[in-house]
A and B are shown apart, each in its own frame.
Chain A
Amino acid sequence: MTATTTAPVAATPVRTLRRPSSRLRAWATRAPLLPALIFMIAVTQLPFVATLVISFFDWNALYPKARHFTGLGNYSDVLTDADLRHSVWTTIVLTVTVVLVSLIVGLGLALLLDRRFRGRGIVRTLLIAPFLVVPVAAALLWKHVLYNPEYGLLNGLLHIVGGPQPDWISNTPLLAVEASLVWQWTPFMMLILLAGLQSRDHQQIEAARVDGASDWQIFRHLTLPHLRRYLELGALLGSIYIVQNFDAVFTLTSGGLGTANLPYTVYQSFYQAHENGLASAAGVLVVIGSIIIATFALRVVSSLFREEVSRA
């Protein structure tokens, strides 16, 4: 303020004085950000750059002297190797199935929970619980307690009604993994969609009802358009987490029976096969896939975010 009033009198000296102080002030506002920023760049970006570099080398940790530059050799290996290609496919199928099914079931549950009934809080708590079981513990629960062909609960219940006794994991391995993940992720989708439902404009719905709109019409023309972005957000966040899923695949099938997804393959190729170059190339491919999803995710988050900011 003093600068603006004195500026006409002595323009040049003030300007030279003001510049360092405003720069200082700008740094003072930025300074609290720096530790977090530097930390994130060091811990997440540098290793990725290293992964990128390693991905261009033919490098087996058991034969470190044979390490040499191969350019895109690892990438063509990854893309032509039948097992690796299969794991790309498995990752896609696993992610899409789990996200879609848990989104649909989650929507149904959110609609049920959006209305008042006796014990709504308890039901909400019961429904959230699966999401709050440690993922490895949840996978163990499904593997040993539910799926076990001899004494698992599923076959136990089937036995009571005189049904067949299938070996769930051996017969339908991918479906077994998917079911356990759907169980864990449906509560997540439900919570996001419930928040969406509760942020609806209730006056508008009331007005539509007075005008004689049926429940279905209200759902189709008011609720669903409003929920669209919450559905997108749930789908994208769910995709980001499930593309990276390791725990369920590792625990339920150990990547066997055609259930190895990319994270598991990356883990296996360097941790067990010591193929550092191949693992890195596969890792870079996972990143590219994630960037594609993330671009859309960021767009959705930023549109919700901008709305929040403009509302505030």
Chain B
Amino acid sequence: MSATAVPVRSRRTRGPRRTVRARGAGLGLVAWLAGVVFFLPIAWMALTSFHSESDAATNPPSLGAALTLDGYREFFGTGGGASPWPALVNSTVASLVSTLCVLLLALPAAYALSVRPVRKWTDVLFFFLSTKMLPVVAGLLPIYLFAKNTGMLDNIWLLVILYTSMNLPIAVWMMQSFLAEVPVAVIEAAQIDGARLPTVLARVVAPIALPGIAATALICFIFSWNELLFARVLTGVVAETAPVFLTGFITSQGLFLAKVCAASLVISLPVLAAGFAAQDKLVQGLSLGAVK
């Protein structure tokens, strides 16, 4: 590289580099704009939930109207409407218990499939995956008839069973991919040192796989919390879940916009929280472990 070439070079590159930087800033701005556009409906929903009903339903929209908690008071039933608490409790029970069941069933299965590979293990994995692709409507009617004949209709524990089956394939796939990240050599070394299986699981496997297991649990929780079709068909008054409660808002009931927004936001909050907590592993979970 000769000394004379240096100034020529820098003069030549300075121009393009500056436009590259300007274009980079421009594209950053476009990204920000896109983010704001996608988030706008949620932001507007949040703002409307804090408006009074008369301010919520105006055209043009009233941006700077006074803020109030009336929408939330209405939603929680202090205004005389149906209380959402039973539905929220049902959803919590169905989501938490089914997630726990999923973990109890999926952990041993994923362990058998990843740490100590079973022969034909990919076949087993793909069987689990294929059940996820079987649409809910495929088994809905027999399940409904079964529930009706055995008195299980409007029973939250039936939803627990169904949500467990709904999430089990996802959990097996996800956890299999997380457990596969535990190096076999480390496990073997522990076994040679005389560690028994429970010790290996607790001291070696768990610390490495725990973030993945937590993310799996969060994603199963989200899917159970969101589910509508099973809950709508199989529950009624007693076992109604939060999404079924929301379907009560499908037909307009006069001025109720602030209440709808408050309800939608409150019921979405657990999902938003779980989703942001699992953000880093969200893709891996949603793509059934195929994308890392």
Complex formed: what's the CA distance from A123 to B39 in Å?
Answer: 9
Please determine whether B228 and A36 come into contact, CB atoms closer than 8 angstroms. Answer: no
Asked if residues B59 and A133 are in contact (CB atoms below 8 Å), the reply is no
The answer for the CA separation of A140 and B30 in the assembled complex, in Å, is 28
Rounded to whole Å, the gap between the CB of B94 and the closest CB of chain A is: 14
The proximity string for B residues 261-292 relative to A, scoring 1 for CB distances below 8 Å and 0 otherwise, is 10111011001101110010011001111111
Number of contacts between A and B (CB, 8 Å)? 316
Which residues of A have CB within 8 Å of B116?
A: 29
Q: Chain B residues with Cβ under 8 A from A36's Cβ?
A: 105-106, 108-109, 128, 168, 172
Distance in angstroms between the alpha carbons of A308 and B132 in the assembled complex: 21
CB pair B113 A137 closer than 8 Å: no
Is the CB of B185 closer than 8 A to any CB of chain A?
Answer: no
Structural contact, A144 and B141, CB atoms closer than 8 A: no
Task: Tell me whether A246 and B108 are in contact in the complex, defined as CB-CB below 8 angstroms, given that A283-B140, A287-B135 are known contacts.
Answer: no
Contact with B along A287-312 (1 / 0, CB 8 A): 10011011001101110110010001
Residues of chain A with a CB closer than 8 A to B28's CB? 115, 117-120
- Tell me if A243 counts as interface (CB < 8 A to partner B): yes
Q: Which residues of B contact A137 (CB under 8 A)?
A: 243, 246, 263-265, 267-268
Contact A136 B44 (CB under 8 A): no
**Cβ-defined contact, B112 with A33, below 8 A:** yes
Residue contact A47 to B233, C-beta cutoff 8 Å: no
Is B105's CB under 8 angstroms from A153's CB?
A: no
- Asked whether A33 lies within 8 Å of B257 as measured between CB atoms, the reply is no
Q: How far is the CA of A290 from the CA of B135 in the complex (A)?
A: 7
CB-based contact B109/A192 at 8 Å: no
Of A14-22, A48-56, A65-73, A217-225, which stretch is located at the interface? A48-56
Q: Write 19 A-B pairs (CB below 8 A) sorted by A numbering.
A: A40-B131, A47-B140, A113-B31, A119-B32, A126-B35, A129-B39, A130-B38, A132-B271, A134-B271, A140-B246, A156-B61, A188-B286, A191-B283, A233-B287, A262-B137, A263-B136, A280-B141, A283-B141, A290-B138
9 cross-chain pairs, A with B, having the tightest CB-CB distances, nearest first: A117-B28, A47-B139, A32-B108, A50-B142, A137-B264, A132-B275, A126-B35, A43-B165, A294-B133
Besides A36-B128, A270-B144, 12 more A-B contacts (Cβ < 8 Å) are A43-B165, A54-B142, A128-B279, A132-B268, A134-B264, A138-B264, A145-B41, A270-B140, A280-B141, A283-B135, A293-B133, A297-B133
